[in-house]
Chains A and B, each alone.
Chain A
Amino acid sequence: MTSFNLMHLQFILTGAMWTVILSVLATLGGGIGGAILALAGISRHRFIRNIAALYITLIQGVPLLVILFLTYFGLPALGFNIEPLAAATFGLSVYVSAFLGEIWRGSLEAVRKAQWEAGECLALTRMQVLLHIIMPQSIRLATPPTVGFIVQVVKNTSLVSAISFIELTRSGQIVNNSTFQPFLIYTIVACLYFAMCFPLSRFSRVLEKKFAISAR
């Protein structure tokens, strides 16, 4: 048993870096999926709306850990070989897309119907109305909850430690196995999570205030 040293710290910081990378990838992947789901959710075709709603209901009703097990252990069992990073990114994206899709659909629908009507009466296409009139207004509504949810995503990446991906939590566990100084190590781990989440939370709060003022 060795006591905590710089090498251990470096190992944990590398884990923290992977947590950041995973969070970014999950947000990007989930953002693309969420955008598609949000657009599908306001489609004029009931069938497309129903598919989006079904996906969101299913994913929101399953724990993230189970989604990760399904992608990491389940897909190889079906013959798809998948790296831990790819499995983690895919699983997280599937999860994030369901929530962002719902947040964004709600924000698009929160813009008054009369705005659609006004745009269409000016001979704009549905896509032009969406891009130039509806989306700019819904972004104001969507940004605070979106940033708030990304904070959750950063914390939830800790679950991928369960599929042998060495991110911040897992690297803490590994270091603890050799040093056995759990209080010290998990305090460091906690502080690092806090250092990532706190600026985001503050940012979300600032945005909320800013939009509350401009949306009087």
Chain B
Amino acid sequence: MSDVIVGLKDVWKSFGEVSVLRGVTFDVAKGQVVSIIGKSGSGKSTALRCINGLEAFQSGEIAVDGFNLADETLDLRALRKKVGIVFQSYNLFPHLTVLGNIELAPKLAKRLSPTETRELALKVLGEVGLLDKRDHYPEQLSGGQQQRVAIARSLAMEPTVMLFDEVTSALDPELKEEVLRVIERLAGSGMTMILVTHEMNFARRVSGKVIFMHQGVVHEQGTSEILSNPGTPELVQFVGSNL
């Protein structure tokens, strides 16, 4: 496989007595779009959160764009300039306008000038199609719009990898579409993306690789073909129950 940008090797993680990841291994190539699917409790969100250091893991290796996540002296802030994450619950900053939300990190973490920051903010806001909402506060936006702002906020850090943690799960069906369209356009632009998702049709459409997690391990992986022709009974059952 060409340039691996995210690699997990035999990653184990437990919360107290409960092991959530039991030897997870997979690679993501530069520019690849990878969907992680699986039942809740299969460890897919935890695996994603380990990739940008939100969760510590007990053993194994995770390498992300030259960073070694197992290294305790790792500069997490440097890593997070490269790896953006969007959450299910948007987590916008309610006291800031849309522009304020987007500009905060480039201004503080990247120390860009106000002009550069504004230019960048308008660019990413245009990419998610919300230029007209720039002065609104999060509470004045629909869930779908808030999630698109959250995506823009992450993009403004100009990451090399984007993580999406069930970003449409909290949205009504008609609002899901607008968010999925933004993500799909992003996928087309060559951004490396890892999505934890329940949207099977979407996963089939955009993913170069699909990873099916089951009971804390990668149970099956391959191209989006595996969603049509699952190789294991567990994936057959999962796909069947998610149509």
Contacts and interface: CB of A to CB of B under 8 A. Distances in A.
Interface string A94-128: 00000000000000000010110111111111001
Interface centre among A117, A122, A216, by most B CB within 10 Å? A122
Interface stretch (B85-93, B121-129, B186-194): B85-93
Contacts of A115: 91, 93
Contacts of A128: 108-109
Contacts, number: 54
Interface in B42-86: 52, 54, 76-78, 80-81, 84-85
Given A115-B91, A133-B104, 18 more contacts: A112-B91, A114-B87, A115-B93, A117-B91, A118-B92, A118-B93, A119-B93, A121-B52, A121-B54, A121-B85, A122-B157, A123-B77, A123-B109, A128-B109, A132-B104, A136-B95, A140-B95, A216-B139
A212 to B, nearest CB: 14
A136 to B, nearest CB: 5
B94 interface: yes
A42 B52 CA distance: 24
Contacts of A117: 54, 87, 91
B182 interface: no
B80 A114 contact: no
A143 interface: no
A201 interface: no
A136 B77 CA distance: 22
A63 B226 CA distance: 71
Given A123-B81, A124-B108, A118 B157 contact: no
A137 interface: yes
B214 interface: no
Nearest to B163: A121
Interface string B137-155: 0010000000000000110
B105 interface: yes
Contact of B157 (A112, A114, A123, A216): A123
Contact of A118 (B87, B110, B139): B87
B100 to A, nearest CB: 10
Contacts of B81: 123
Contact of B77 (A118, A125, A132): A125
A134 to B, nearest CB: 10
A114 B105 CA distance: 16
Interface string B99-124: 00000110011100000000000000
Interface centre among B54, B78, B109, by most A CB within 10 Å? B109
A8 B36 CA distance: 82
B80 A121 contact: yes
Contacts of A123: 77-78, 80-81, 105, 109-110, 157
A138 to B, nearest CB: 10
26 contacts: A112-B91, A114-B89, A114-B91, A115-B93, A118-B91, A118-B92, A119-B93, A120-B76, A120-B80, A121-B54, A121-B80, A121-B85, A122-B104, A122-B153, A122-B157, A123-B81, A123-B157, A124-B77, A124-B104, A124-B105, A124-B108, A124-B109, A132-B108, A133-B93, A137-B93, A137-B95
Q: Which 4 A-B pairs have the closest CB atoms?
A: A122-B105, A118-B91, A123-B109, A123-B80
A122 B154 CA distance: 7
A142 B50 CA distance: 34
Nearest to A112: B91
Interface string A145-186: 000000000000000000000000000000000000000000
Nearest to B154: A122
Contacts of B78: 123
Contacts of B85: 121
